[in-house]
Every structure is written in C-alpha cells, then in structure tokens.
Structure 1
C-alpha cells in the first residue's frame, strides 16, 4: 500500500515539476522484508507469499522505490501505534511538525 501511494505521489510531482528521476525511499523496520524484496530468488521460506505481493519486488528492480532499514528508535510511525515515553513522543511530534497549542481548548467568556 505504501509503495502504491508513493508511486502515485511521484507521478503527481513529475507532472507538476517534470523532473523526478530518483527512486522514492521507503523506510522499513524488517530487514527480512527488505531482503525478500531485493532478492527475486524463490525460497522455501517465502513460498507462502502470493504473486501479487511481488509488486514491491518489481518496483525495487525498476528503481522506482528504494527500501531502507530504519532503526526502531527512529521509527516516527510508532507515534500512531504505540504508547511512548513523553520525551520520545515530543521528539516525534517535532519531527512531524506538530506543535503544542498555547490556546485553551475550551471556549470561555470572561467579564
């Protein structure tokens, strides 16, 4: 799914700017998933993977995408899926550009 979304964005950017020739970088936690995508050789341990999942492999081979390993400590997507310590939560918010609003969340009337 991420691959399809990235390729759609790449086509959109290419239409607007006409120059986007480098592969899109997709970060992945799983070293095994990256290795499977880079290696088209059929293995007994991957025989359960259906052929329509080979889409990512095809896009890696055609250099449309590049799969990169990301360390667990740097995985910003964890902010959406895990309970995080305050410091890590705040640093991920900063990376995403989310700011702490100083305005009150509830309306009030002062006389």
Structure 2
C-alpha cells in the first residue's frame, strides 16, 4: 500500500469513527493496514542489512585466508633465514666500516 492509500484509509477511518457505529471488529484490520507501510520499510531495511552482513562475512573470510597465507610465507622465510645463518656458519659483518690495513702508529 502506498502513502496516498494510507492517507485515504486514515481519512475514511476517521470519518467512520465519527458515525458512532460499533467498529471494534474492523479496527484491528484498519490499524494493521495503516502499519503496513512501516512494516515494509522495516522489512526493506532488514533485507539490506542481511545483504550487508553477507558481504562483510565474505570479506572477513577472504582476509582470514590472506592472513593464513601470509603467516605461512612468514614461517617459511623465518625457517630459511635460520637455515642460512646457522647451517652454513654465516657471520654477519658491518659492511659500512672503513677498510684499514692495520692500526695507525702514534707519533709522539
């Protein structure tokens, strides 16, 4: 039911109430029809929120997969680093130091 139909129904209901007839049997149906617009708005919003939730859930799952792959690559790289450092007797050196051919002599 669109907004115009709701307004017409409300006007008709107000006019019927002035007639002082016993409309108690009809009142729940009229109230329900008048609340239909609100129900449809809420139903649309709930549907959109459910869709948003599904999209976010997919994104979370993709991120979890990416994290698992990254953690696996990290562990493999760490294992390779340890293997290279310890397995072959690698000694890390500071390559930024000046090359010298001995200590300079002190002249007194």
TM-score normalised by length of structure 2: 0.22
State the structure with bigger RCO (CA 8 A, min sep 6), 1 or 2.
Answer: 1
Higher fraction of strand? 1
Higher fraction of helix? 2
